[in-house]
């Protein structure tokens, strides 16, 4: 099992590096879509093969579907990707709250501190995005609540790797939302944001997957 686990992560990491280091700047194509989708999709397949938690397999699979949508342009692809990632966050919430040890520290100073940070940051992000959202305000509100719920659920586990992974995933969403709605084309932040978005997104989910699959 350890060989399959290690080999699976090596393949997924190689795909992620290929996308983040090269294809992220290319025009939409079948190759670009395939590599981006398999970067997370291969982790979903690995979770299934190793007998990982169903909700982990589902969350990774939904993320791969979201990647397939967002690898292409157009409003329908954007909305499809948004819906897939919204469901992925819900699957992660379900995964965390049903994991052994969830809730042991819900009354601790640690949990309330982390929860307060999540709430404040979520409010600040939504306030910053609000003037730029237009017709997307309602979907984005639901999405913000989903990522807030994921962060709170992860903090309830008090497992470092899972919390850091969830934080990285959430931070990638925050940067992506600013890239889509706030930062202008050609601005300084948009020159580097794709690297940060992809690195945090893939790395965050890889950490969560490793935390669960390494103990299967």
Task: Give the Cα-Cα-Cα angle 77, 81, 87 (nearest 5 degrees).
Answer: 150
Residues of the chain with pLDDT below 50 are none
Find the domain containing 43 and state its range. 2-213
pLDDT at 61: 98
Total count of domains within the chain: 1
Q: For residue 105, what pLDDT is reported? A: 65
Residue 91's pLDDT is: 98
pLDDT at 1: 62
**pLDDT the model gives residue 59:** 98
pLDDT at position 40 is 97
The CA R_g of the chain, rounded to the nearest whole Å, is 17
Instruction: End-to-end CA distance of the chain: give it in Å, rounded.
Output: 9
* Angstrom distance (rounded) from CA 141 to CA 28: 28
> Locate tokens 């940067």: which residue?
175
């Amino acid at each position: 099992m350890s060989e399959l686990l290690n080999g699976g992560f090596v393949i997924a990491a190689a795909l992620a590096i290929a996308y983040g280091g090269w294809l992220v700047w290319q025009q939409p194509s079948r190759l670009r879509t395939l590599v981006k989708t398999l970067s997370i999709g291969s982790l979903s397949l690995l979770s299934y093969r190793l007998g990982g938690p169903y909700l982990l397999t589902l969350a990774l699979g939904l993320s791969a579907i979201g990647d397939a949508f967002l690898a292409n342009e157009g409003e329908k692809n954007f909305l499809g990707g948004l819906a897939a990632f919204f469901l992925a966050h819900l699957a992660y919430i379900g995964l965390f709250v049903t994991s052994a040890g969830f809730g042991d520290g819900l009354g601790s100073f640690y949990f309330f501190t982390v929860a307060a940070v999540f709430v404040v940051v979520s409010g600040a992000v939504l306030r910053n995005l609000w003037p730029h959202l237009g017709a997307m305000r309602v979907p984005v509100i639901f999405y913000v609540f989903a990522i807030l719920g994921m962060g709170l659920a992860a903090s309830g586990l008090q497992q470092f790797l899972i919390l850091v992974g969830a934080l990285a995933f959430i931070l990638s969403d925050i940067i992506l939302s600013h890239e889509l709605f706030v930062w202008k084309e050609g601005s300084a932040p948009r020159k580097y944001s794709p690297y940060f978005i992809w690195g945090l997104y893939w790395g965050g989910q890889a950490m969560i997957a490793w935390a669960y699959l390494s103990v299967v």
